[in-house]
Every structure is written in structure tokens, then in C-alpha cells.
């Protein structure tokens, strides 16, 4: 299946819900250590009466988690109410020891924001209805025991971890938009440092509500919730599949049911998981063990001041101020580390005696350096802040190429060596004699030596075979290991042979 399979007669109406684990040292309502990596260490070792839901245990709010949601709200331009409160969402499931989840119902920490991102059809803005804070559930593990019986195990280490839920308005229209929204949201959360948001590790979980309506009609169709998409690619594929499935059913005159469907990545299909509960089923009511939370303007100002320039703003600035293509701007802002590195390199380049254009720095960052980082992705050196190349190194290398002092080929080689060894590219260039030979006296001596060693070629040239120069140029280039300028060498040979002096 390819992109945008929405048939012309239908319009897809898609809303996205994202749960992401917040980067905090401790859990949401207790002092237990939060897992830095999912499922790390022995199970059930990070628990206490609060996150095990024992009677009488009292929750205490994690201030950092609240600040992370407020930072997210500010970053998406949302409204933060002067006060908020906590609610109990009641349901029974083995991964929820209290029989309820502490969440936020009608007073979320942030509401009415938006996120703008690029798509293959141009920029899109999706409204975000709300972002609120809640606690994660325990982890259920379905396994087979030593006697071959199917068993379900519970690891409470995840129980009570701080979780943020971000819900869009039903503004998304295509599977591609859904994927791009999720990618941009991940980038934003990482830039502001509130979550690692790794989908493969379950730190960011994306669900989509998908319905179709005849094009031009206002009322929504029956919506289906799609879960279990654990990569951006899965998000796009699952929604494409669901649009196709629903349009085929509607064409056949079938009535769709409101259900939750799971995505089977291997088979490439969605399947019915359960019929969908309405929110009334949860019997929300205010949490009696926690006081309402006031969001003091001075506190919000401190949080706002910590938010760095966001990816969309950086992309726009790179295009407008540095003259980069939207594509290069996208690559350079894909992570905050890369963007910070690039900007430091541009600053270093601008400060050199012969200022290096930002475009030249961008070419090396998006090209050869990115290639080396990707190739080393599985190692510590695959991180730009640990790769052995500093921003000043990259600027210097770009400057050497830009100034014609070394060839592009030599620069690639120097960068690769520097990447591996931690030497500076400039040191590699000097140690390996990679600088172009621009000294005409030095070049003349090498030309003379080549002419002396190949009298037959010289004789051929004098006999009118002009192409003999090519052979002689090749000999000089070989002698200088490519460090001479071939055009200059050709001119020097012709000048020497066309003069009267015998070679």
C-alpha cells in the first residue's frame, strides 16, 4: 500500500492520543526510583505501599513531572489554568493495583495548543485539545512457565511512573500527517527535555481514532481506536490499513462498530481487541487524597525561560537567515544535539580569519558527518557529542575545502580518520600531507622530474601527439597523491614543453 489511500468520496477524520513517560528521577506519587530504561533490573524491586496500591498509603505529587507537562503546554502554545486538580479514573485490571488511576479529567494542566510540522503537501497545523498528567500502570508479561502453562506475570516497577497524555482535535486527515505529527511531537518533547519518547521502548505510545465520512459532510462516522503501533512506520501503515478497511466496508453497505483494534505489524492488519468503553464507564471523581494544584504565574515564567528554541523555529531560521534548503534545515534540527552542534560550528566558522559560509558547514554536517554518525549508530561514537569531532573541527575542515587548500576527497578521508581517532581533521591533513600543492616552485620541480622520467611521452608530445600531456599529468598527480590541481599541472607541463628548453 502507498501513501494517502483515502478514496475521493471519503474523508478520513483522525485524532491522535499520545502517552509518554516523563523523564523524572522518581515516580509520580511516591519516592520509588523511576526506570531510566524500560524493564531494567530485576522485576518488582522499585515498589512501595503507594505504587502497590496498599490501603492507607498517601500519594505525594512529583513537582518535576508537573513542570514537564507545564513546559510541554507552554511549548505548544496551550492555556494553563490558574489551578488544576486530580481525578480518579476507576476501572479494574490486574495492572492497576488501586482499582483506579490518578489522572486529570475536566481540568487538564494544559489545553488548546497546537503543533505545526511539514508534510509532503506542505506545512500542517494540528490543534491539541489537552495535555494532562497521570500515572502509568504496572507491566503485564504473558509467558509460559516451566510446566508449559500459560501464565501472566506482573512487574510493578512501571506502576506509578509519571505519564503525560496529549490528545489532538480530530484534525488529522491522512496516515502521513499522523506519522509526521508523532515525529514532530517526539522531537519537541526531546528538545525540551521532558521525555526520551522512544516508541520502540514504550516510552511514547501512540493511539489513533480513525473514522471516515463522505467528503463534504459534517457529521463524523463511527470511530475505531487503533493501538499497538510501536514505530512511526507502524502508525502510518496501521492508519492506511484502517482507512482502506473502513472504506471497503462502507462501500459494501456495512455498519461499522465502535471498537478498539490492535495493529499486527507482521501481518500488516488491524484486528478487534475489544468493544470500546465510553468515558462515562470510568466514573471519574475528584481525588480526595490530593489538594488542587495552583499554577503560580511566577513559576510558569521560570519554566518558560528554560524552554529552548523549538525545532520549527530553528528550521525557519536556518532557511531564512542561513539560506539553507528546507530539507537541510530539517536534517540539522532532527535532534537538539545536532542543531546545537551545527550552530556552534557555524559560529566557529564565522570567527575564522577566512570566514566559512554556513552553507559549507551545513554540507559537511548533513553529508559526511551524518554518514559517519549513522554508520556508528550502535556505538557511543554514534552520538554527535561523543564522536571525536568538535564543532570547531568541522568548521576548520569546511574552511580548508572552501578555501581550496584540500580537495573534497582528502577532506572526507581526514574527517573519517579524525572521527575514529579523535585527532583534529586539520592535524590529519598536515600529518598525511593532504594539502594541495599550490606552491608553483614545488610543482615545477615535480613536473621537471616527471618529464625527465618519461622521455618517450615528451617526444610524443613534440611529435604532435597532444594527448601525451594527459599521461604526464597523470604521473604528476600520482606523484603528489592527488594533492596538486590537475588543471595547473597541465598548464605547467605545456608551458615547459612549449618553451625552447630541452626537458
Please report, as ranges, the residues that interact with Zn ion according to CB under 5 A. Answer: 30, 32, 48, 50-51
In the complex, minimum distance from the CB of residue 152 to Zn ion, in angstroms, rounded to a whole number: 22
Which one, of 318, 373, 316, lies nearest residue 342 by Cα? 318
In the complex, minimum distance from the CB of residue 108 to Zn ion, in angstroms, rounded to a whole number: 24
Of residues 50 and 414, the one with the C-beta less far from Zn ion: 50
In the complex, minimum distance from the CB of residue 151 to Zn ion, in angstroms, rounded to a whole number: 25
What element of type H or E holds 179? helix 175-191
The DSSP code sequence of 155-177 is ETTSTT-EEEEEEE-S-B-SHHH
Of residues 56 and 380, the one with the C-beta less far from Zn ion: 56
Count Cβ atoms within 10 A of the Cβ of residue 265 and give its class: 0-12 exposed, 13-18 middle, 19 or more buried.
middle
CB atoms within 10 A of CB 151: 11
In the complex, minimum distance from the CB of residue 207 to Zn ion, in angstroms, rounded to a whole number: 26
Of residues 20 and 138, the one with the C-beta less far from Zn ion: 138
The DSSP code sequence of 198-249 is -TTTTSEEEEEEEEEEETT--S----EEEEEE-SHHHHHHHHHHHHHHHHHH
In the complex, minimum distance from the CB of residue 154 to Zn ion, in angstroms, rounded to a whole number: 15
Of residues 48 and 477, the one with the C-beta less far from Zn ion: 48
CB atoms within 10 A of CB 194: 26
Of residues 37 and 251, the one with the C-beta less far from Zn ion: 37
Of residues 48 and 486, the one with the C-beta less far from Zn ion: 48
Question: What span, in angstroms and rounded, lies between the C-alpha atoms of 443 and 449?
Answer: 10
In the complex, minimum distance from the CB of residue 140 to Zn ion, in angstroms, rounded to a whole number: 18
Which one, of 4, 28, 1, 27, lies nearest residue 14 by Cα? 4
Which one, of 195, 182, 196, 209, lies nearest residue 117 by Cα? 182
Of residues 51 and 162, the one with the C-beta less far from Zn ion: 51
In the complex, minimum distance from the CB of residue 52 to Zn ion, in angstroms, rounded to a whole number: 7
23-24-29-32 Cα dihedral, nearest 10 degrees: 120
Amino acid at each position: 500500500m502507498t501513501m494517502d489511500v483515502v478514496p475521493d468520496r471519503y474523508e478520513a477524520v483522525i485524532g491522535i492520543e499520545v502517552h509518554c513517560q516523563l523523564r523524572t528521577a522518581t515516580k509520580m506519587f511516591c519516592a520509588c526510583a523511576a526506570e531510566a530504561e524500560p524493564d531494567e533490573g530485576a522485576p518488582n524491586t522499585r515498589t512501595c505501599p503507594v505504587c502497590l496500591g496498599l490501603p492507607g498509603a498517601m500519594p505525594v505529587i512529583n513537582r518535576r513531572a508537573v513542570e514537564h507537562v507545564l513546559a510541554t503546554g507552554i511549548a505548544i502554545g496551550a492555556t494553563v489554568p490558574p489551578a488544576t486538580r486530580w481525578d480518579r479514573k476507576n476501572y479494574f485490571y490486574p495492572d492497576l493495583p488501586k482499582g483506579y488511576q490518578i489522572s486529570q479529567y475536566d481540568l487538564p494542566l494544559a489545553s488548546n495548543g497546537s503543533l505545526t510540522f511539514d508534510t509532503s503537501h506542505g506545512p500542517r497545523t494540528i490543534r491539541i485539545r489537552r495535555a494532562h498528567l497521570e500515572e502509568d500502570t504496572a507491566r503485564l508479561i504473558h509467558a509460559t512457565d516451566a510446566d508449559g502453562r500459560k501464565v501472566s506475570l506482573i512487574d510493578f516497577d512501571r506502576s506509578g511512573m509519571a505519564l503525560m497524555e496529549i490528545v489532538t482535535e480530530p484534525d488529522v486527515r491522512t496516515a502521513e500527517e499522523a506519522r509526521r505529527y508523532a515525529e514532530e511531537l517526539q522531537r519537541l518533547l526531546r528538545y525540551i527535555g521532558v521525555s526520551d519518547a522512544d516508541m520502540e521502548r514504550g516510552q511514547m505510545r501512540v493511539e489513533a481514532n480513525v473514522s471516515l465520512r463522505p467528503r463534504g459532510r459534517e457529521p463524523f462516522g463511527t470511530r475505531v481506536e487503533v493501538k499497538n503501533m510501536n514505530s512511526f512506520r507502524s502508525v502510518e501503515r496501521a492508519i492506511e490499513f484502517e482507512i482502506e478497511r473502513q472504506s471497503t466496508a462502507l462501500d459494501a453497505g456495512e455498519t461499522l462498530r465502535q471498537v478498539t483494534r490492535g495493529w499486527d505489524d507482521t501481518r500488516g492488519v488491524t484486528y478487534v481487541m475489544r468493544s470500546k468503553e465510553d468515558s462515562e464507564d470510568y466514573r471519574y471523581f475528584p481525588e480526595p487524597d490530593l489538594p488542587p494544584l495552583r499554577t503560580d504565574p511566577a513559576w510558569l515564567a521560570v519554566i518558560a525561560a528554560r524552554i529552548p528554541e523549538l525545532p520549527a523555529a530553528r528550521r525557519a531560521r536556518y532557511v531564512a537567515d542561513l539560506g539553507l534548503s528546507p530539507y537541510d534545515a530539517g536534517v540539522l534540527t532532527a535532534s537538539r544535539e545536532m542543531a546545537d552542534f551545527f550552530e556552534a560550528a557555524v559560529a566557529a566558522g564565522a570567527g575564522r580569519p577566512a570566514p566559512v559560509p554556513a552553507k559549507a558547514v551545513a554540507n559537511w554536517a548533513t553529508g559526511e558527518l551524518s554518514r559517519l554518525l549513522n554508520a556508528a549508530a550502535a556505538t557511543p561514537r554514534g552520538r554527535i557529542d561523543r564522536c571525536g569531532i568538535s564543532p570547531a573541527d568541522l568548521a576548520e575542515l569546511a574552511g580548508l575545502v572552501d578555501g581550496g587548500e584540500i580537495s573534497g576527497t582528502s577532506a572526507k578521508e581526514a574527517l573519517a580518520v579524525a572521527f575514529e581517532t579523535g585527532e583534529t581533521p586539520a592535524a590529519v591533513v598536515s600529518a598525511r600531507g593532504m594539502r594541495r600543492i599550490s606552491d608553483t616552485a614545488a610543482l615545477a620541480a615535480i613536473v621537471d622530474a616527471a618529464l625527465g622520467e618519461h622521455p618517450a611521452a615528451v617526444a610524443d608530445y613534440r611529435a604532435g601527439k597532444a594527448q601525451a600531456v594527459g599521461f604526464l599529468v597523470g604521473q604528476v598527480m600520482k606523484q603528489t597523491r592527488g594533492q596538486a590541481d590537475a588543471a595547473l599541472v597541465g598548464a605547467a607541463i605545456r608551458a615547459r614543453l612549449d618553451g625552447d628548453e630541452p626537458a
